[in-house]
Amino acid sequence: MPLRLIFMGTPEFSAQTLRAILDAGHEVVAVYSQPPRPAGRRGLELTKSPVHQLAEAEGIEVRTPVSLKQETEHEAFRALGADAAIVVAYGLLLPKAILEGTRLGAFNGHASLLPRWRGAAPIQRSIMAGDERTGMMIMKMDEGLDTGPVAMTEEVPINGETTAGALHDELMNVGGRLMVKALAALEAGTLKLTPQEEDGATYARKIGKDETRVDWSLPAAQVDRHIRGLSPFPGAWCEMKVGEKVERVKLLRSILADGAGEPGEIIADGLVVACGQGAIKLIEVQRAGGKPMSADEFLRGAKLVKGDRFL
């Protein structure tokens, strides 16, 4: 018999799991998502989240509270009479009353191999740290930050060309499939929960604006991971001098390259740039106000030559 579920999520990453749950035949009695936010070039239009839009298209009730702390919210949640709550990148902390507001509890889809990278930015942090693997985990939520017991895991490799955007999309697809598998076991009464180890626990704090600028004095491997880990959003960036003007440039894709020079110096054709140790070759960049472009396209417009420097 299909489960009666409450779904809680906001971005595209979450919407994929909601879609998979609906396709599997489960009943979603209500969806919780972040309230519509200003969007558009002028920020004047309120835009509903991807999860909100999908739920409305499927005729599912959508709730967008700014907080879940109030007793009235707890009562409204319990009144839905759900078997379980499914939480994927929702964006609000769940109080105990919500965690215990369904018959079987709340289950979270998290994009890391817990206990590594608990927190807000596990995809970016795994690449930036040089991890060789990550994955999706389904866990039963408790009052801690991503500390609950784990039900299911699927690993995904990270290679030297993986960007945060590509890894996001792969984990998004894995997450939907894995959640459906976990719900089938939950429905059958065979879902096994394993407590997390505390050894090796790390925190994936939200990416701050103050850490997006490229530091060319760092080793090439670290610069490369920094670029790939922030691509396409929020984007690692640096500055360059074009004529008398200093222009900001986003760096979207790179690979390691041979060579040495002053940090930030272009040391070979094709945008090979020296770092503190070694060098990287830029593959894709984006000028301020422009679209992503290849290094060759960029050079035709910027006319940088060997010896010029990124700042």
Binding residues, as ranges, are 112-115
Strand residues in the chain grouped as ranges (E): 4-9, 27-32, 37-39, 45-47, 62-63, 84-88, 106-110, 118-119, 133-140, 150-157, 203-204, 236-242, 245-257, 266-268, 272-274, 279-287, 293-294
- pLDDT, residue 186, reads 97
- All domains in the chain, ordered by first residue: 4-203 (3.40.50.170), 209-302 (3.10.25.10)
The proportion of the chain whose per-residue pLDDT surpasses 90, expressed as a percent, equals 86
- Is residue 189 classed exposed, middle or buried when 0-12, 13-18 and 19+ CB atoms within 10 A define those classes? exposed
Element (H, E) at 228: helix 220-229
pLDDT in tens, 59-86: 999 999 999 999 999 999 999 999 999 9
Q: What is the mean pLDDT of the chain?
A: 95
- Kindly state the tokens that stand for 273: 């740039």
User: What average pLDDT does this structure show over 273-289?
Assistant: 95
Binding-site residue set for (6S)-5,6,7,8-tetrahydrofolate: 112-115
Per-state percent for the chain, helix, strand, coil, to nearest 5: 25, 30, 40
Burial class (CB in 10 A: 0-12, 13-18, 19+), 28: buried
User: For residue 43, what pLDDT is reported?
Assistant: 62
pLDDT at 241: 80
The answer on pLDDT for 11 being more than 90 is: yes
Q: With 0-12 CB in 10 A as exposed, 13-18 as middle and 19+ as buried, what is 171? A: buried
Say what the pTM is: 0.93
pLDDT for residue 240 is more than 90: no
